[in-house]
């Protein structure tokens, strides 16, 4: 199999663990994940995670054995210290495994019971390293689940949400997000739902968000009510700043010829003042 | 909503970056005309002001910000120099604002303010209103940083 050949070519060494970091796992893991037998995909996350891990473990240390037969557990005598760099490695294909986890929506913290059950054919010393790695991931899985779910379905959701919810919704809130490719706008009650007005509303939400940002930036703008005055204040502030620059440059021009222009001394004076 | 800063990128470097750029430009100015005292002080003021704006544009974002790009281009045009732009991710800026003037759908209050802003902020002519406000926010931050730097410099150099 090309996997074993790949591993054999890259790591002829088992002992020095520093070489582990230089191995590139991404292609091999993707191959492993896609060629997993179908009965394990219906199971828990441990099955997903453990199979590639144990297979990879054995492939690492015993490049001769093929991946399908893997589990003859002679690698059980590997001391935990050699496993630690392996556990500390961040897999480049994390996203792919987490992706599968997201689809099955099983969180990894439940796995503690399952680990002991399914390690009948795998390494008894492994769960420690696995647990460390898997525990570090649940913090990621939740956020990654959200991101993935949103990015997968947000493209389809725009039309559906508008058509379904606009006619029956009572809530007055509208959701707007800048980072997703599609904007989710919930139509308010009694408002037109054709595409133009929805796009209009989305655009207005964007402008309002940015205006809020500007309001925070300009001092004294949060107290003002009404967008017109806020905008006037913002424009005023920009003009003030530009006038300040001009004034200071005049003063600098007046000051400049006096001083012997030594860059270091000026930098020192600036540091002392700040 | 203080978290709006994370969605819209308005990152501005520290004061030192601005200070360094400005001082470098000032020393360049000095080496250009070494105390042969160009005729009036008005020219000197103008040169210093231009150096201030150019150094601010370079320190703030180089050519990755629309206003800084427009500012640098404007400054280079006066000197008849050519400014180098990296063409990596250059979006096409359409003249949408001229189209929208005909249709009356946008809020007129916002739009007239946006027009005034476009005259103030460099490079505002080809931007949509929302993009314009982003650029204004970044421009305000950079301007205030530059003002701080210049104030410190003047205070440091003025006679005690």
pLDDT tens digit at each of 274 positions of chain A: 454 444 444 444 444 444 444 445 555 555 555 554 444 444 454 544 445 545 545 555 554 444 444 444 444 444 444 444 444 444 445 555 555 545 554 444 444 444 444 444 444 444 444 444 444 444 444 444 444 444 444 444 544 444 444 444 444 444 444 555 666 666 667 677 788 888 888 888 888 899 888 898 888 888 888 888 999 999 999 999 999 999 999 888 887 665 555 666 666 666 655 5
> How many of the other CB atoms lie within 10 Å of CB of A215?
21
Q: What is the distance between the alpha carbons of residues B160 and A67, in angstroms, rounded to a whole number?
A: 80
Global ipTM: 0.83
Q: Please, are residues A15 and A80 in contact by the beta-carbon 8 Å criterion?
A: no
Token code pair at residue A253: 């021009």
CA distance B71 to chain A (A): 14
Polymer length in residues for chain A: 274
Chain A residue whose CA is closest to B121:
A238
Q: What is the distance between the alpha carbons of residues A77 and A257, in angstroms, rounded to a whole number?
A: 79
Residues of A in contact with B158 (CB under 8 A): 251, 255
Q: Among A109-113, A201-205, B77-81, B96-100, whose mean pLDDT is lowest?
A: A109-113
DSSP state of A135: H
- The residue written with tokens 């759908």 in the block is B105
> How many of the other CB atoms lie within 10 Å of CB of A147?
14
Could you say which of B8, B117, B153 has the minimum Cβ distance to residue A252?
B153
Token code pair at residue A106: 């099983």
Residues of B in contact with A202 (CB under 8 A): none
Token code pair at residue A69: 């037969």
Q: Please answer yes or no on whether B8 and A210 come within 8 Å at the CB atom.
A: yes
If DSSP codes are grouped into helix, strand and coil, which group holds residue A188? coil
Residue B62 belongs to what H/E stretch?
A: none
A110-124, B49-63, B68-82, range with greatest mean pLDDT? B49-63
Report how far Cα B23 is from the mean position of its chain's Cα atoms: 17
Probe site for chain B from A195, A208, A213 (most B CB atoms < 10 A): A213
pTM, two decimal places: 0.54
Q: What is the distance between the alpha carbons of residues B148 and B154, in angstroms, rounded to a whole number?
A: 10
Given this model, what pLDDT does residue B147 score?
93
């Amino acid at each position: 199999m090309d996997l074993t050949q790949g591993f054999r070519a890259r790591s002829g060494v088992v002992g020095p663990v520093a070489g582990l970091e230089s191995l590139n796992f991404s292609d091999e893991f993707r191959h492993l994940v896609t060629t997993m037998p179908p009965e394990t995909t219906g199971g828990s996350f441990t099955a997903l995670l453990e199979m590639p891990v144990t297979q990879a473990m054995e492939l690492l240390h015993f490049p001769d054995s093929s991946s399908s037969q893997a589990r003859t557990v002679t690698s059980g005598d590997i001391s935990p210290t050699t496993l630690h760099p392996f556990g500390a490695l961040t897999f480049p294909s994390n996203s792919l495994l987490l992706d599968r986890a997201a689809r099955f929506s099983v969180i990894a913290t439940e796995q503690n019971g399952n680990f002991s059950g399914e390690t009948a054919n795998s390494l008894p010393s492994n769960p420690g390293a696995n647990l460390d790695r898997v525990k570090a991931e649940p913090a990621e899985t939740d956020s990654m689940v959200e991101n993935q779910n949103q990015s997968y379905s947000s493209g389809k959701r725009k039309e559906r949400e508008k058509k379904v919810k606009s006619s029956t919704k009572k809530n007055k809130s509208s959701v707007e997000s800048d980072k997703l490719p599609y904007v989710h706008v919930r139509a308010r009650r009694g408002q037109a739902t054709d595409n133009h007005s929805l796009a209009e509303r989305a655009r207005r939400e964007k402008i309002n968000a940015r205006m809020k940002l500007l309001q925070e930036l300009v001092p004294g703008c949060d107290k003002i009510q009404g967008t017109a005055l806020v905008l006037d204040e913002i424009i005023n502030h920009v003009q003030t700043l530009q006038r300040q620059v001009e004034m200071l440059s005049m003063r600098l021009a007046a000051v400049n010829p006096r001083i012997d222009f030594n860059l270091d001394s000026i930098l020192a004076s600036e540091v002392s003042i700040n | 909503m203080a978290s709006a800063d994370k969605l819209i990128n308005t990152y501005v470097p520290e004061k030192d970056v601005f200070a360094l750029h400005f001082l470098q430009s000032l020393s360049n100015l000095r080496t250009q005309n070494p105390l042969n005292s160009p005729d009036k002080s008005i020219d000197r003021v103008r040169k210093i002001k231009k150096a201030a704006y150019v150094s601010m544009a370079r320190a703030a974002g180089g050519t990755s910000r629309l206003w800084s790009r427009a500012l640098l281009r404007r400054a280079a045009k006066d000197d008849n120099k050519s400014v180098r732009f990296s063409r990596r991710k250059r979006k096409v800026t359409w003249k949408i604002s001229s189209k929208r003037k005909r249709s009356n759908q946008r809020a007129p209050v916002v739009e007239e303010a946006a027009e005034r802003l476009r005259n103030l902020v460099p490079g505002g002519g080809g931007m949509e209103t929302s993009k314009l406000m982003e650029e204004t926010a970044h421009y305000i931050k950079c301007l205030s940083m530059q003002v701080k730097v210049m104030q410190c410099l003047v205070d440091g150099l003025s006679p005690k």
